[in-house]
Structure formats: C-alpha cells, structure tokens
Homo-oligomer: A and B are copies of this chain.
Amino acid sequence: MTEMVKVALEEVRQLSVRTLSRVGYSERHAVAIAEMLFQCQRDDCQSHGLFRLLMCHQTMKAGKVDGHATPQIYPSDGAIVRVDARNAMSLLAVNETMPLLIEKARKFGMAAMTVNKCFHFSALWPEVERLSEKGLAGLSMVPSHSWVAPAGGKRGVLGTNPLAFSWPRAGKDPFTFDFATSGFARGEIELYLRAGKPLPEGVAVDAEGNPTTDPQAALDGAMLTFGGYKGSALSIMIELMAGPLIDDLTSTESMAFAEGQGGAPYHGQIILAFDPYHLSGGRVAENDARAERLFADILNQGARLPSQRRFEARARNTARGYVEVPRALLEELMKLGG
C-alpha cells in the first residue's frame, strides 16, 4: 500500500514552481508548467501531476531543453496560428498562443494552433478543456517515441500518440477524453517485468512480430495500438497530423533526437478549435440540448462518460482544499530542493 500524504492545493502549485525554478526553468516557464501539474494533481491524475517534476528535472539534465526560451508566435491572416517553442517545454508556448487560437476559432468558425520544437510531457485534456471552458470544442494530438508497431508489424514506428477531445456543456463539466492510442502504457510493461507477471493478451509483439505476453520479449519487440487495425490507422493519422502536417518530428525522429537520454520527448503538437456557433448556423442552444439528450441516454443505462472519475476527484479535492500524494514522491522532490 502506497503511503499518501495530504498536500494543500496551493502548495502543489508552489512546490512545483520552487522545484522547477531550482532545476533550471525560468519563472515564466515554471509557472506555466506548474499550472499543468496543479490541474492534473487536483484531478488525482497521479501520473501527470507532481510526479512529472521528476521528468522535468530529467529533461533538464539531458541537456537539450531550453528553460528560458521565449516562444515565438507566427500569426497569419487565416485560421492557423503557429508557435515555435524554441526548444522549451510546450506549456508556455501553448499558454501564450491560446488567446489567439480562441479568437481565430470565433472569427473563422474553426482554427488550429501548431506548436513546434517543444519538449512535451503533459496530459492533453487541460488544454482542450481550456477551449471547452470558452464554449468551443477542442481536439489535440501529439506523437511521442516510436515504441508502438503498426497492425501486422513487428517494430516500433508509432508513438503512444494520444488523442484528446473536449465538448462544452453549459453549467456542467465538459465531455472530455484523453487517451493513448497504444493499448498499454510503456511504464506498465516495466512494472509487469519487475513483478514477473505475464502481460495481458494483445498488447505487444516480440521482435519477430509474434504476439507475446512476456514483458521482456515485449520490450525487445514492440507495443501494439488499441483496437487492432483501426487503432493502428488512427495512430498513423495522429503521427501525420502532429508531425509532417505541421513541419515537426515523427515519433521515430523524436526517439532518434533523444539519443537514448531520458526526459520528455521533443516534437510538435496540434490543437484544433471548433466554434459551435458558426458550425451550427447559430443554433447553439437547441444543439446543446441535443448533446445533453445524448449524454443522458448514455448515463441512464448505467454507462459512464469518460473523465467522470476525474471530475469527481476535482470536485472533492477542490472542496476539501488538498490532494493526496505518495510520501515517497514528496521525499524525492525534497531532494531536488523543492
């Protein structure tokens, strides 16, 4: 049983800023990164909350990230706004460009932000939820490192390639999902290896492309996508949309760039925003009601909406003003001087 410690919500933010500043990020970067960690920790996303301070540190130690770069925004007359993160973490670039993305989506009906040359470690849902808070639908994709084989293959070419979507719901938590298109998380395979347990069927192949449940054979081979050839096709789409489409690295190129160092992968990100006002010809209220009937039909049969558990955690932790964090993690963070 992991021993948990209560940490006040405000301290989550401050601990993050202190640690990030100490390990080499400028104040602007530290504040932007800390906000993402805060949101994840507040929602009990342990994997993308304070835990990621270790990765931010590791990324800095690997020596390629710029902790002080100022993002360069390239606006256009059209529906696209491109931002160059200039080898920094993605979050400051996204924050600074988000108002322009929202403005363009409202003006043109839809718009895209492309983020280039960024190190990326974060969950995608906080960014698409910033769009749904403004009444827009948001969609975001990133590649990662090429651990995942295409359907019928045996070598990693694709990243874990997450897809996140958020839909605004008046007066309610949005409809949001954020999932990796890999069938399994890479870290999970390592946990199975350490525990000496076989993997579930269908999540990995060995170096010859044969299905395997042996964790070491899986690490020597490749992970698979969720959902067979359909999930594989979707993952390739994400690779294209968040790579070549926006002039940035594929997962294979990102892995080569890392040269075996740990830390966050380096690549691009695409965030799309859709304005229901334009797309529905101004009939937002009627269509909000229609979407609510859809959600009710899902909930009334005992199914859950994605992110429902996360929103419950958010409400609970916000009300009580603290989150629970593993003691071992806090002790590790203390060593970083946070």
Contact = CB atoms under 8 A, between A and B. Distances in A.
A280 B152 contact: no
Given A240-B167, A240-B175, A306-B229, A80 B279 contact: yes
Interface string A289-331: 0110110011001111110000000000000000000000000
A250 interface: yes
Contacts of A274: 112, 241, 245
Nearest to A81: B109
A89 B231 CA distance: 30
Contacts of A13: none
A74 B281 CA distance: 9
A187 interface: no
Contacts of A230: 177, 179, 181, 226-227, 231
A330 to B, nearest CB: 32
A304 B167 contact: no
Contact of A301 (B155, B179, B227): B155
Interface in A243-294: 243-247, 250, 252-253, 270, 272, 274, 276, 278-281, 283, 286-288, 290-291, 293-294
B150 A303 contact: yes
Contacts of A137: 240-241, 245
Nearest to A280: B247
Counting chain B CB atoms within 10 Å of each CB, which of A241, A272, A290 scores highest? A290
Given A154-B301, A157-B294, A110 B80 contact: yes
Q: In terms of DSSP, what is the predominant structure of the interface of chain A?
A: mixed
B233 A152 contact: no
Nearest to A116: B281
Contacts of A234: 163, 177, 234
Contact of A80 (B163, B237, B278, B286): B278
Interface of A: 74, 76, 78-80, 82, 107-112, 114, 137, 149-155, 157, 163, 165, 167, 175, 177, 179, 181, 209, 226-231, 233-234, 236-237, 239-241, 243-247, 250, 252-253, 270, 272, 274, 276, 278-281, 283, 286-288, 290-291, 293-294, 297-298, 301-306
15 contacts: A76-B109, A79-B109, A80-B108, A150-B301, A152-B303, A153-B301, A179-B229, A226-B228, A227-B228, A240-B291, A241-B274, A243-B294, A244-B290, A244-B291, A250-B293
